[in-house]
Structure 1
Amino acid sequence: MTLRPITFADLDAVCDHRRRMFDAAGRDAAVLDRMDPAFRIWAASRLRSGEYMGWIVEADGRPAASVGLMFIDWPPHPEHPDCDRRGYVLNLFVEPEHRGQGLARRLMRRVEEEARTRGVDYLILHPTAQARPMYETLNWQATSEMSLRLN
C-alpha cells in the first residue's frame, strides 16, 4: 500500500470519504445531501490554496484510507503557550475492507510528523464514537468543548 499526499485530483475521493464517514456515524442523509455540494466547493478551494492538506493510502491504485489536516491560526493557549497555531485533523476514513490493518494509525502518525515539522505541537479533532477508542490508543485526550448553532 502506498501513502502519498492528497492532491487536487483526489477531490472526489476526499468528498466521498467525508460523506461516508458521516454516514457511518449515523448522520441524516438529507443533511449530508445539503452538505456535499458546499463541502466540494470548500474543499476544492482549500486544496488549490494548500490550506487543506492530507494523505491518502492507496491499495492497487484505489483509495483505501485518507485523512485531512489544516493548520489554523489560534492565540497562544495554556495547551500550547508558545505556538500561535493548532493542527486540525479531519475526515479520517478507512474503507471497510481495509479496516483493522493499521491504516488509520499510519495516517495519524503522518499527521503528527507534519505538525512537528511545521513547529505545531497541539492537534485537535472531533472523533466519531466509532473512532474514539482508536484515538485513545494513540494518546489523544478528551477535552471540554461546547457549541452553539445560530440559526
Structure 2
Amino acid sequence: MTVTLRPVAPSDCDLICRHRHDMFQAAGDHKAAKAALTPAYRNWQQHALQSGSYFGFIAEVDGAAVGGVGLMVVDWPPHQLNPDVLQRGYVLNVFVEPEHRGQGIAKDMMAASDAAFQKRNVTHAVLTATDQARPIYEKDGWQQTAQMAKEIR
C-alpha cells in the first residue's frame, strides 16, 4: 500500500466536513459531529479553503482519500514560555478512515504538518486531542496544556 499526501484544495470542502463529522462521532461528541455538517461550518470551511487560511493535507491510497489534516496559522500574544512567538500553528480535523488506522498515515500527516509550519516560520503549534489520541501525540513530542472554554452570552 502506497500512501500519498497532497495539499488540501477548495474542492475538498465536503470531504473535510465529513472527516470532521466522523472524527467527532468516533470520539463520542455527537453535538460537535452534528455541527460539522451545518451550513455555517461548511460556509466557514469553504471560505477558509478559498482564502488559504486553512491548509493541510489529504492522504490518499490508490487515489482514494483515506485521511486528512487541517492547519491554520493564528495570531497569538507573546507568552512567558514563548516570549517571541506572535503566531501559533493550529492543527485540526486530524482524521484517518478506520480501516486505514495503525499504518502510520496520521504520523506521516503530522510530519508533513510540521514541515508546512516550518516553511511558514511557525515555531509553536497547538491542537486539541481526545483521550484516545493523546498518547499518540505525546510520542511525537506534543505536551498537554491546561485550557478552558466558556460560552459568552
Please report the TM-score for the alignment, with normalisation by the length of structure 2: 0.92
Which residue number in structure 2 is paired with residue 106 of structure 1? 108
5 Å-filtered alignment, 1:86-97, equals 86-97=88-99
The CA deviation string for residues 82-139 of structure 1, in whole angstroms up to 9 with x for no partner, is: 2210000000000011101101010111111111111111000001122111101101
Q: Tell me the secondary structure at the aligned position of residue 47 of structure 1.
A: helix
5 Å-filtered alignment, 1:22-61, equals 22-28=24-30, 32-37=33-38, 38-61=40-63
Give the distance between the partners of 1:135 and 1:34, measured in 2 at CA: 25
Instruction: Mark the runs of 5 or more structure 2 residues left unpaired by the alignment.
Output: none
The yes-or-no answer on 1:132 pairing with 2:134 is yes
Give the distance between the partners of 2:121 and 2:85, measured in 1 at CA: 8
Q: How many residues align?
A: 150
Give the AA of the match of 1:110: A
Instruction: Mark the runs of 5 or more structure 1 residues left unpaired by the alignment.
Output: none
Question: Could you say what the CA RMSD is over the residues aligned between the two structures, in angstroms?
Answer: 1.3
Deviation at 1:28?
2.1
Preserved CA contact (<8 Å) 1:52 1:68: yes
Give the AA of the match of 2:106: A
Give the distance between the partners of 1:92 and 1:5, measured in 2 at CA: 14
Moved over 2 A (4+): 31-35
Which residue number in structure 2 is paired with residue 7 of structure 1? 9
The CA deviation string for residues 54-85 of structure 1, in whole angstroms up to 9 with x for no partner, is: 10110121111100000001112223222210
The yes-or-no answer on 1:16 pairing with 2:28 is no
Give the distance between the partners of 2:111 and 2:79, measured in 1 at CA: 24
Preserved CA contact (<8 Å) 1:79 1:122: no
From 53, 64, 68, give the equivalent of 2:66: 64
Give the distance between the partners of 2:78 and 2:98, measured in 1 at CA: 39
Preserved CA contact (<8 Å) 1:51 1:70: yes
